[in-house]
Chains A and B, each alone.
Chain A
């Protein structure tokens, strides 16, 4: 038998994109979780509470507030697509996975817009 050629491909359709984004957002949130804990652990660094205040002050500058909004978008997607997955796991909406995905995206976009309106003054004021 001759040499074989392996073909392993991912096909980008709604369900695949939803899964890849869920995975990507999950990994980013995992990375953030540890970043968050490292930042907060400044309270148990040698400087104690004063080190905490210093670290937090440097993280509430406009670039980080924009990053906060991006983080919020990532968490929103993971949460809302997670609700879609819970619904599918309960055996509901199995014929409507695409409308469910787009509902999650639209709902997330609306929530993100509201959060941006709330946070915009913070990024501008400083």
Chain B
């Protein structure tokens, strides 16, 4: 028999993260694009904008929530064709690894703007 609760949490969190994204994406687009529409985008301009703690809080939150929502949604697409429980668990595990790597990369990029020096360089 399959374990219980193998679907309720991903389903619920997909909806909760969707709701959060509605706010975060609108804020992100507004701050990063529409507020300075037409200006040339440069490293220094972005870094100056991210001096506001509220702005980089939005970007950190967006990074984590969007990666969860995107990969959880992708998992749901994959599961339409992957039915064996063992393969489903493997897929979930791999997507977690991809997600964590993506958040680390995103955090590294943000730190390059915020601290002037990234955690690591590629």
A residues near B, CB below 8 A?
23, 26-27, 29-30, 33-34, 37, 40-41, 43-46, 48-50, 52-53, 56-57, 60, 75, 79, 82-83, 86, 89, 118-119, 121-122, 125
Contacts and interface: CB of A to CB of B under 8 A. Distances in A.
Interface of B: 15, 18-19, 21-22, 25, 34, 37-38, 40-44, 66-67, 70-71, 73-74, 77, 102, 105-106, 108-109, 112-113, 118, 120-122
A32 to B, nearest CB: 10
12 contacts: A23-B77, A29-B70, A30-B71, A30-B73, A30-B74, A34-B102, A37-B102, A44-B120, A44-B122, A86-B15, A122-B37, A122-B38
Contacts of A30: 70-71, 73-74
Contacts, number: 74
Given A44-B118, A122-B37, A27 B77 contact: yes
Lowest 8 A-B CB distances belong to which pairs? Answer: A49-B43, A44-B118, A43-B112, A52-B43, A30-B70, A40-B109, A56-B41, A44-B121
Nearest to A38: B105
- Interface of chain B: mostly helix, strand, loop or mixed: helix
Given A29-B70, A44-B118, A45-B121, A60 B41 contact: yes
Given A30-B73, A49-B112, A122-B38, 4 more contacts: A29-B70, A37-B105, A86-B18, A119-B37
A51 B70 CA distance: 28
Contacts of B42: 52-53, 56
